[in-house]
Amino acid sequence: MLKKIKPFPIIIKFLPVNHFLKEGSRRIAVILVCLVLLASCSASGPRFLRETPDTVKANIYVYKVGRFVGSANAWYLSANGRRITVVKNEGYFPFAADPGNVTFSAKLRAGFGTLLLAAFIPEAELITINVEPNKEYFVRFRLGPSMELVPKEQGLKEIEGIRRLSPYKK
């Protein structure tokens, strides 16, 4: 005979409302708590807005398309060794770069479930782009982490509706 296993027994045990909820309601409560935690890992700024091209600098749009896998991870993103933002699920960041080579690197941000992992993963260089003034570049951030330069038309299509990330603050 199969033994009935209760879902998420450890989480349910520590929920303060444990004694007041029935079995079905407990599942709903656990699901709601998980959704709130996942939602906090997504970008929350305004939706995509194209920047006015600068005649002296290049506009680079770094973005991460929304995916469930890896959605709880956030990454510190650096350009030429200087932190510029924290990349989150469904987020983009416009970066005005001087002409020449721009090297992007990323480091896993320590958070719920990634505290030990973040301590042992070094910052990694992901991509170097030679940019020209008054041009737009679209760079997709992927799980791994990795980054890839995508064609302008594809980048505009994928970035539509994605929310702006905040600049990095110490």
Can you give the CATH number for the domain in which 84 is found? 2.60.40
Do 154 and 74 share a structural domain? Answer: yes
Do 34 and 95 share a structural domain? Answer: no
Do 100 and 29 share a structural domain? Answer: no
Q: Is residue 147 part of a domain?
A: yes
Residues 34 and 57: their CA atoms lie apart, in Å, by: 42
Query: Does position 102 have pLDDT exceeding 60, yes or no?
Result: yes
Least confident of 8-17, 39-48, 67-76, 108-117: 8-17
pTM (two decimals): 0.69
Do 118 and 87 share a structural domain? Answer: yes
- Decide which of 21 and 128 is more confident: 128
pLDDT per position as a tens digit, 17-72: 555 555 666 666 555 544 444 444 445 566 777 877 778 999 999 999 876 655 56
Do 81 and 120 share a structural domain? Answer: yes
Least confident of 5-9, 61-65, 108-112, 133-137: 5-9
Do 116 and 69 share a structural domain? Answer: yes
Q: Is residue 84 part of a domain?
A: yes
- Write down the H helix ranges in the chain: 9-14, 23-39, 115-120, 152-159
pLDDT band at 151 (very low <50, low <70, confident <90, very high): very high
Do 30 and 64 share a structural domain? Answer: no
Do 130 and 71 share a structural domain? Answer: yes
Q: Is residue 52 part of a domain?
A: no
State how many domains the chain has: 2
67's torsion region: left (phi>0), alpha (psi -120 to 50) or beta? beta
Do 66 and 116 share a structural domain? Answer: yes
* Pairing between β-strand 91-97 and β-strand 82-87 as defined by DSSP bridges: unpaired
Q: Is residue 111 part of a domain?
A: yes
Do 109 and 28 share a structural domain? Answer: no
Percent of the chain with pLDDT over 70: 62
Do 66 and 19 share a structural domain? Answer: no
Q: Which two tokens stand for residue 167?
A: 């600049």
33: containing domain: 9-39
Q: What is the pLDDT of residue 54?
A: 78
Do 142 and 91 share a structural domain? Answer: yes
